[in-house]
Structure 1
Amino acid sequence: MDELDRNLIALLGADARISVATLSRRLKVARSTIQARLERLETNGVIAGYTLKLGEGAREGRLRASVLLTVEPRTQAAILTRLKAVSEVERVFTTSGRFDLLLQVACPNTQVLDQVLDQIGAMTGVRSSESLIHLSTKIDRAV
């Protein structure tokens, strides 16, 4: 990836609906260059898809939390399979350090969050968990 690719990705990260013509004008290159770059970035897996990013208005009424899990050795695959069935679990990351997994969870209220946390904590192989409720978003640069 060169500087043009990085600038192209930055513009798409800010607005995935931006047209090829607008991209070419802003980056001062031919439309065919932008189209070729997009095709290459897609083929190489750098761009996996185009999506929308929900604003705070769409997130209202959703209680978000990060859940840190420590799991028994060799149980991670089975736990991941069970977590896929929990619709409130949005993302799961493996981590280094004290915890093995970091879960991003979204629930409509504290009662549902409590039930989800109990469900996760009761899974065979889960040694311990720690929950952090998200209060507000101060910086969000996620693409």
Structure 2
Amino acid sequence: MPVDALDAAILRLLLQQPRTSVREYARILGVARGTLQARLDRLERDGVTTAAGPRVSPAALGHPVLAFVRIEVTQGRLDEVGEALAAVPEIIEAFSTTGGGDLLTRVVARDNTHLEDVVQRLIRLPGVVRTRSEIALRERVAYRVLPLVESVGRAAGDGRAASRPSSAAREPERRPAQAPARGPRAAG
């Protein structure tokens, strides 16, 4: 689905001011509330935006160690291993990939000993051939899509001054919760 200038402006506001009401977004953008709500509904229906929820910090839950674990899987067992990964609570994301391994997981742990226990659990799963772990030392670029949204907006000819909140109104972008992001609350 192509994103036009108004869509890009809406997405920018959703990222910069995630707790703002639909009515306030419409006011900032200078469009009717109904127009904005229709755009939000279409963006959600087309999969551009997804369900909203709070961002939960694994570190604040006592799991400050983050590792990326690549898993090599026996041919033909990828779906089976992928389903088994869902039963491991310390795995907060898993992707099938190309390259050196079949699955890439994001794993959190209380400490390195706990991480080793999680990796050992993964190795014992039927269909897992081997794992390779890399521990994250420091986050250098937090999850973000705002620069991409702004780039898409520029490509769509987004030059409307009304679509850009004042620098005083801007908030830093927040990483979406583990559940996909849905958009603003419908109350206005």
Report the TM-score when normalising by structure 1: 0.86
* Alignment of structure 1 residues 63-142 onto 2, 5 Å: 63-140=65-142, 141=144
Unaligned runs of 5+ in 2: 145-174, 177-188
Q: Secondary structure at the match of 2:60?
A: helix
Measured after TM superposition, the shift of residue 8 of structure 1 is 1.4
The corresponding residue for 1:48 is: 50
- Per-residue CA distance 1:35-70 (angstroms, 9 max, x = gap): 111112222332221123346973775211110111
Between Structure 1 and Structure 2, the one with more strand by share is 1
CA distance in 1, matches of 2:124, 2:90: 16
Q: What is the percent sequence identity of the aligned residues?
A: 32
CA contact (8 A) 1:16 1:52 kept: no
Query: Bigger shift: 5-14 or 119-128?
Result: 5-14
Higher RCO (CA 8 Å, separation ≥ 6 residues): 2
CA, structure 1 residues 56+130, in 2 after alignment: closer, same or farther (shift >3 Å)? closer
CA, structure 1 residues 84+54, in 2 after alignment: closer, same or farther (shift >3 Å)? closer
CA, structure 1 residues 80+59, in 2 after alignment: closer, same or farther (shift >3 Å)? same
Between Structure 1 and Structure 2, the one with more helix by share is 1
**Once superposed, what is the RMSD of the aligned Cα atoms?**
2.1
Unaligned runs of 5+ in 1: none
The corresponding residue for 1:39 is: 41
